[in-house]
Amino acid sequence: MDMPHAEIREEVKKLCARFPGEYWRRLDAARAYPTGFVRALTEAGYLGTLIPEEYGGVGLNLAAAAAILETIHAEGCNAGAVHAQMYIMGSILRHGSPGQKQHYLPGIAAGTLRLQAFGVTEPGSGSDTAALRTFARREGDHYVVNGQKIWTSRAEHSDLMLLLARTTPREQVTKRTGGLSTFIVDMRDAAGHGMTIRPIRTMMNHNSCEVFFDNMAVPAGNLIGQEGQGFRTVLDGMNAERLLISAECVGDAKWFLRKATAYANERQVFGRPIGQNQGVQFPLARAYAQLRAAELLLREGVGQFDAGAPCGEAANLAKLLCAEASWAAAEACVQTHGGFGFAEEYDIERKFRETRLYQVAPISTNLILSYVAEHVLGLPRSY
Ligand SMILES: Cc1cc2nc3c(=O)[nH]c(=O)nc-3n(C[C@H](O)[C@H](O)[C@H](O)COP(=O)(O)OP(=O)(O)OC[C@H]3O[C@@H](n4cnc5c(N)ncnc54)[C@H](O)[C@@H]3O)c2cc1C
Residue 186: exposed, middle, or buried by beta-carbon count in 10 A (0-12, 13-18, 19+)?
middle
The whole-number pLDDT of residue 1 equals 56
Percent of the chain surpassing pLDDT 70? 99
Q: Going by DSSP bridges, is the β-strand pair 160-166/115-119 parallel, antiparallel, or unpaired?
A: parallel
At 2, the pLDDT band (50, 70, 90 cuts) reads: low
Mean pLDDT computed over every residue of the chain? 97
Q: Classify domain 115-229 by CATH architecture.
A: Beta Barrel (2.40)
Which of 30-39, 176-185, 231-240, 279-288 is predicted with the least confidence, judged by mean pLDDT? 231-240
State pLDDT tens for residues 90-132: 999 999 999 999 999 999 999 999 999 999 999 999 999 999 9
Distance 364 CA to ligand 1 centre (A): 6
Which sequence spans correspond to the domains of the chain? Answer: 6-110, 115-229, 232-376
Quickly name the fold that domain 6-110 has: Butyryl-Coa Dehydrogenase, subunit A; domain 1 (1.10.540)
Atom index in ligand 1 nearest the CA of residue 206 equals: 1
284 and 264 Cβ atoms separated by less than 8 Å: yes
The span from the CA of 275 to the CA of 295, in Å, is 25
The whole-number pLDDT of residue 12 equals 98
Which of 24-38, 85-99, 229-243 is predicted with the least confidence, judged by mean pLDDT? 229-243
**Nearest protein CA to atom 48 of ligand 1, as residue:** 364
State whether the beta carbon of 370 lies less than 6 angstroms from ligand 1: yes
The whole-number pLDDT of residue 316 equals 98
State whether the beta carbon of 126 lies less than 6 angstroms from ligand 1: yes
At 4, the pLDDT band (50, 70, 90 cuts) reads: confident
How far is the CA of 118 from the CAs of 149, 151, 160, 273, 309, in angstroms? 10, 9, 9, 47, 25
State pLDDT tens for residues 324-363: 999 999 999 999 999 999 999 999 999 999 999 999 999 9
The whole-number pLDDT of residue 306 equals 97
Q: How many helices (H) and strands (E) does the chain have?
A: 13, 10
Question: 82, 83, 127: which to mutate for ligand 1, most atoms within 8 A of CB?
Answer: 127
Quickly name the fold that domain 232-376 has: Butyryl-CoA Dehydrogenase, subunit A; domain 3 (1.20.140)
pLDDT for residue 278 is more than 70: yes
Distance 362 CA to ligand 1 centre (A): 7
* Residues 6 or more apart in contact with residue 363 via CB below 8 angstroms: 127, 238, 242, 316, 319
**Nearest protein CA to atom 43 of ligand 1, as residue:** 366
State whether the beta carbon of 367 lies less than 6 angstroms from ligand 1: yes
pLDDT for residue 209 is more than 60: yes
State whether the beta carbon of 124 lies less than 6 angstroms from ligand 1: no
User: If you average pLDDT over residues 174-194, what whole number do you get?
Assistant: 96
The span from the CA of 82 to the CA of 86, in Å, is 8
How far is the CA of 62 from the CAs of 23, 42, 138, 320, 377, in angstroms? 28, 17, 36, 19, 27
State whether the beta carbon of 363 lies less than 6 angstroms from ligand 1: yes
**Nearest protein CA to atom 17 of ligand 1, as residue:** 362
